[in-house]
Structure 1
Amino acid sequence: FFTNTKTGEIMARLNNDVVGAQRAVTGTLISIITNTTRVIFTLSIMFSLNWQLTIISIAILPLFLVPARKVANRLRDITRKSLDLNADMNILMNETLNVSGALLMKLFGRQSDTYQKFLRRSNAVADIGIRSAVIGRWFFMALGVISATGTALVFWYGGHLVLTGAFTIGTIIAFAAYLRDLYGPISSLANARVDFTTSMVSFERVFEVLDLPHEIVDSNTPNDLINPNGKIQFDKVYFSYNRDANSADITSSTSLSAITRPYARRRDIYATSSQTKQRTKPGPDQTWTLNNINFTIKPGQLAALVGPSGAGKTTLTYLLPRLYDPTNGSIQIDNIDIKNISLDSLSRTIGMVTQETYLFHDTLEANLRYAKPQATAQQIANACKASNLTEFISRLPDGLETIVGERGYKLSGGEKQRVSIARVILKDPRILILDEATSSLDSRSESLIESALKPLFIGRTSLVIAHRLSTILAADVIIVIENGSVVEKGSHSRLLGSKGLYSELYNTQFKSNSVDGS
């Protein structure tokens, strides 16, 4: 979902649309109840004064529905367009009003272009807001004309009754006052219909998100892993990001872009994997990212994934913690299909260190505690020591209370990686997934990270996307992936002697990295 949906669009629905839906439930609903009560109370008094004038007064009430219906339909379309435009503006702000976006703009000198883009989008929001306001003014003007017409009819007929002696002037004046109390709430009820109709747009947009199917869910009777050994097995695993309409997986459809694009079919969006058969052959618009993956990692082993860029290594590691489900085949931990393991248990069992470390704009301690909120001060200190963070933290004026900045921009690449390692140490998982950073670090940072990783592998089953020769040489088994398939598997010495892809990668990449100091 998040790989196919822009953050600004999600934020727009969480903010603007939820507020709009809330307004329908609170303000509009309360307005309907209070104004209906006022209308009933006023009519009862008016009937007691003169039933004939009351009939004339309510005869024009259907006229209030005419502008209400027309304006509601027009404002409904305008409101949806306005919310879409606001979402577009939120997307632009989310992408540019942050450290990365601002840095990119300045480095490429695109401040003026970005400003013009924002100006166009903000002007579009302003223009549609003006259109909505103009239609609203015309609507209230129409309600005023209808109210004035009803009042004129009452005074005309009431004046006739006064001239014939059937009515007094005082009674007419009192009736006119109640007439104002009648048409005011009636106008508010007509406006409530417009407000409710436009608020339903927000309801629809909110439920478009809430009704999206959950891609990854627990089975009906999930298992909990208690003291897992950490055996990992991939059995005939196929996976594709590019789903066709008949695919078992709906990853590409469960996004806001899928439900808002005009050509999206409802059955594609709300299909479930149980309604379609698994495929072992790609459809006409489908290509395999992973193709017939088979391997086993024994408990406690360190397995290194190597291969050229784009081979599918990162995708493979995403399948184990069920960030995605395979299109076909099975992945097992301790001989249990991970689809039959509860997501909570799977999360406790697996720890992952990604290549790009994400840190919250919070203290260093808060970022560490994200892995284990109940961690003691001693546990945090031990994790920092094991990840070679202690010396770095001691140099900080505020220590663990130091704010790391948005996405950790106050820290260097090596420091962020060590924070990520410390988080996993705190979590203490049985299975470790590590995507080593490809970015070049200074020799000291490399040395600190390497020494922090060594104890991390001890006693755990580890699956590592390896870029450092030291990690590859320490691996119990090396799995070589090319074009989404396992092409070689074995130890360093055996693969080197086979003169295959691993031997080529070793001579062109890993060996040179070793010379450079990694």
Structure 2
Amino acid sequence: MVTTAPRESAGEQGLVRRVVALFAPYRARLLLIALAILVTAGLGIVNPFLTQAVFDDALFAPGGANLGLLGLLVAGMVVIALVSGLIGVGQTYLTTLLGNRVMQELRDRLFAHLQRMHLGFFTSTKTGVIQSRLDNDVAGVQSVVTETASSILSNVVTVVASVIAMLVLSWQLSLVAFVLMPVFVLLQIRVGRVRRRVAASTQVSLSDMSAITQESLSVSGVLLAKVFGRQEHEIDRYRTENARQTDLQVRQTMTGQSFFAVVQAFFAITPAAVYLVAGYVGTGTGGAVLSAGTLVAFTTLQSRLLFPAVNLLRVSLDVQTSLALFGRIFAYLDLVPAITDPPGARVLDTAHARGSVEFDDVWFHYPPAEEDESVTPGPEDDREPTWALRELSLRIEPGQLAAVVGPSGAGKTSLSYLVPRLYDVDRGAVRLDGYDVRDLALTSIAQVLGMVTQDTYLFHATIAENLRYAAPDATDDELVAAARAANIHDRIVGFEQGYDTVVGERGYRLSGGEKQRLAIARVILADPKVLILDEATSALDTVSERLVQHALESVMDGRTTIAIAHRLSTVLAADVIFALDGGRLVESGTHAELLARGGLYAKLYAEQFGAGAIEARCADGVRFRDGEVIHQEPQPEVA
């Protein structure tokens, strides 16, 4: 159902082209930066020639020192330094701005692309791994993007200009200075490849650390660790991965350091070799082959060549490292969402939507898990898939309350995922108002459908902000009306800050019933034509369940409702009940009809409400001790 990008780029050149393409919208700024670099580099080359003139034409001129010329030359050197400094400040601003804009767009693209990925991607990928791509990987290339491009151009221009100037001054001395450069370039390429592999391993380790942090330091993770006394286990797990990360960081830093030490030593001793060669070539102030000014200018250029040459070698290693990170980022950008709008997608008229839902010979199985970066892929599996739904055909008329029941694993939740097109069917069709949902725009489906799940998600924000997630333009009066309809308004105003109360991460400051009623109020604000309730009360105590049920009566009125439930007390009043088993529809009808039929529904009903069903009764508020009832919450009356 999804095509993923390969682990490694199809080729380094292709990857470089994609990185370069990130800068395409900023051609004008790039040209301005390039111009500043060229001017700065050109001015830098002028200084050594001014130095040569100071020695040969001003200080040690044949007729004696020329102080007037010396003043002009020194003034020129000062002006060049000041102008170069000002241009450098502007260049730094432009490169920093450009690099951060590129990274901003890259993060935006990656986040937007992940938002469009299908649900299956997120159910099979650790949240910490996804966060690591957005945070660690993008941060890892940020310095390269913000500094390296201009650094490469600046250093290349400086090196080229310096080499040309050195050749002009003395080709013999230039041979001495450049004799080992080809060897250094070859060594740098080999070091770069090693650095790239280490960088990739480092980012995988960072992803694992982010996943551990996200899982173990979330409210749910901390609660689980405390309940089972597993804090030391979590500490050890983090400590182990942190030690691995430290080792990789040291390896990444130290890779190539010996190489750079050799390069710097070579550049450091080269001036001595130049002086030695100059002695054999000959120096002087008159007709000798090399004048003193030429030798000073040459060594000045050589020292000027040292830093950009070493920087180029270092930058090339940084580029190799960043290419590994860019490869990981582009691998996510190359993921193809399985659920997208078709060409010419139809937009439903939400104002006139009827709300009919139909399953026509639906077959569905969950796609295989996305390939995890830490798992070695296994051989292809050609076995028949495990069908979550098969041969499923049913129809829900507009305004009906349809209950879907069945044992665990029967396919109830899978059915609820197909209507809002969180997944696509493998065979058959799911229709909304007669239209195949695969032919409808996703935003159009979202405007017609509302969903309340058992695991209610609330943002770490105020109650009002969580409610307005469904309707950003909702007024305060509309919030209050929705909260009243969901039977939660009185509880909200009971908080010290009312609707401005911050609910905490995932709403942990609220009880399960309060979170569910807030979720119902949120759906009421969205005003959907079709409502899906996926076991919205199964985890609640009896009192909370009754409050939520009362709230649901308000939201279900006048809407097509699909209620998925394990606890049959929530579906007794349904217009039609569909019983699933093994992904198939085995029977349908009203409560009375299905009881009379004596099939699966009657069996499930007997298990929950019949005598001796201890486990089911406990789920509905009955407490036992030694086989005797010691407490029982009021149960719904059963006809």
| TM-score, shorter chain, exceeding 0.5 | yes
Shift of 1:221: 1.2
Q: Percent identity?
A: 41
**Equivalent residue number for residue 339 of structure 1:** 438
**Equivalent residue number for residue 299 of structure 2:** 176
Shift of 1:470: 4.8
Structure 1: state its 5+ residue gaps.
242-250, 269-281
Deviation per CA, 1:432-480: give whole Å up to 9, x if none.
0001345453443222211111121111111001345453222111000
SS in 2 for 1:115: helix
Q: Please identify, of 177-186 and 383-392, the stretch whose mean Cα deviation from structure 2 is larger.
A: 177-186
**Equivalent residue number for residue 380 of structure 1:** 479
When the two chains are superposed, the root-mean-square deviation of aligned CA atoms in Å is 2.1
Q: How does 1:55-66 map to 2 (within 5 A)?
A: 55-66=175-186
**Equivalent residue number for residue 352 of structure 1:** 451
**Equivalent residue number for residue 5 of structure 1:** 125
Q: Which has the higher contact order (CA 8 A, sep 6+)?
A: 1
**Equivalent residue number for residue 201 of structure 1:** 324
Contact 1:354–1:435 at 8 Å: present in 2 too? yes
**Equivalent residue number for residue 367 of structure 1:** 466
Q: Please identify, of 282-291 and 199-208, the stretch whose mean Cα deviation from structure 2 is larger.
A: 282-291
Deviation per CA, 1:238-260: give whole Å up to 9, x if none.
1112xxxxxxxxx325x351x66
Structure 1 residues 158, 517: CA separation in 2 closer, same or farther (over 3 Å shift)? farther
Mapped to 1, the partners of 2:431 and 2:139 lie a distance apart of 44
1:230 alignment partner, one of 335, 343, 355: 355
**Equivalent residue number for residue 247 of structure 2:** 127
Mapped to 1, the partners of 2:273 and 2:382 lie a distance apart of 72
Q: Please identify, of 183-192 and 9-18, the stretch whose mean Cα deviation from structure 2 is larger.
A: 183-192
**Equivalent residue number for residue 517 of structure 1:** 635
Mapped to 1, the partners of 2:487 and 2:339 lie a distance apart of 36
**Equivalent residue number for residue 252 of structure 1:** 368
1:79 alignment partner, one of 176, 179, 199: 199
Shift of 1:41: 2.8
**Equivalent residue number for residue 409 of structure 2:** 310
SS in 1 for 2:450: strand
**Equivalent residue number for residue 580 of structure 2:** 481
Structure 1 residues 440, 39: CA separation in 2 closer, same or farther (over 3 Å shift)? closer
Contact 1:63–1:146 at 8 Å: present in 2 too? no
Deviation per CA, 1:316-339: give whole Å up to 9, x if none.
100110111111110001111000
Q: How does 1:269-418 map to 2 (within 5 A)?
A: 284-418=383-517
Is 1:147 matched with 2:246? Answer: no
Mapped to 2, the partners of 1:20 and 1:81 lie a distance apart of 13
1:186 alignment partner, one of 305, 309, 330: 309
Contact 2:365–2:388 at 8 Å: present in 1 too? yes
Q: Please identify, of 151-160 and 82-91, the stretch whose mean Cα deviation from structure 2 is larger.
A: 151-160
Mapped to 1, the partners of 2:229 and 2:394 lie a distance apart of 49
Structure 1 residues 421, 438: CA separation in 2 closer, same or farther (over 3 Å shift)? closer
Mapped to 2, the partners of 1:508 and 1:22 lie a distance apart of 60
Deviation per CA, 1:463-502: give whole Å up to 9, x if none.
0013454532221110001111111111111111111010
Mapped to 2, the partners of 1:291 and 1:510 lie a distance apart of 30
Shift of 1:217: 0.5
**Equivalent residue number for residue 30 of structure 1:** 150
Structure of larger gyration radius: 2
Shift of 1:26: 2.5
Mapped to 1, the partners of 2:210 and 2:504 lie a distance apart of 22
Mapped to 2, the partners of 1:57 and 1:174 lie a distance apart of 14
**Equivalent residue number for residue 445 of structure 1:** 544
Structure 1 residues 417, 14: CA separation in 2 closer, same or farther (over 3 Å shift)? same
SS in 1 for 2:340: coil
SS in 2 for 1:473: coil
**Equivalent residue number for residue 344 of structure 2:** 221
Letter in 2 for 1:486: L
**Equivalent residue number for residue 614 of structure 2:** none
**Equivalent residue number for residue 68 of structure 1:** 188
**Equivalent residue number for residue 589 of structure 2:** 490
Mapped to 1, the partners of 2:333 and 2:494 lie a distance apart of 47
Structure 1 residues 68, 169: CA separation in 2 closer, same or farther (over 3 Å shift)? same
Letter in 2 for 1:413: G
SS in 2 for 1:479: strand
Mapped to 1, the partners of 2:320 and 2:548 lie a distance apart of 58
Contact 2:404–2:579 at 8 Å: present in 1 too? yes
Structure 1 residues 372, 256: CA separation in 2 closer, same or farther (over 3 Å shift)? farther
Letter in 2 for 1:252: P
Letter in 2 for 1:517: Q
Contact 1:24–1:200 at 8 Å: present in 2 too? no
Deviation per CA, 1:94-124: give whole Å up to 9, x if none.
1101111111111111111211111111011
Letter in 2 for 1:222: A
Structure 1 residues 98, 18: CA separation in 2 closer, same or farther (over 3 Å shift)? same
SS in 2 for 1:175: helix
1:47 alignment partner, one of 145, 167, 190: 167
Mapped to 1, the partners of 2:469 and 2:201 lie a distance apart of 39
Shift of 1:168: 3.4
Shift of 1:163: 5.8
Mapped to 1, the partners of 2:510 and 2:341 lie a distance apart of 37
Mapped to 2, the partners of 1:163 and 1:229 lie a distance apart of 98
Shift of 1:510: 5.1
Structure 2: state its 5+ residue gaps.
1-120, 611-616, 622-632
Q: Structure 1 length as normaliser, TM-score?
A: 0.90
Contact 1:430–1:461 at 8 Å: present in 2 too? yes
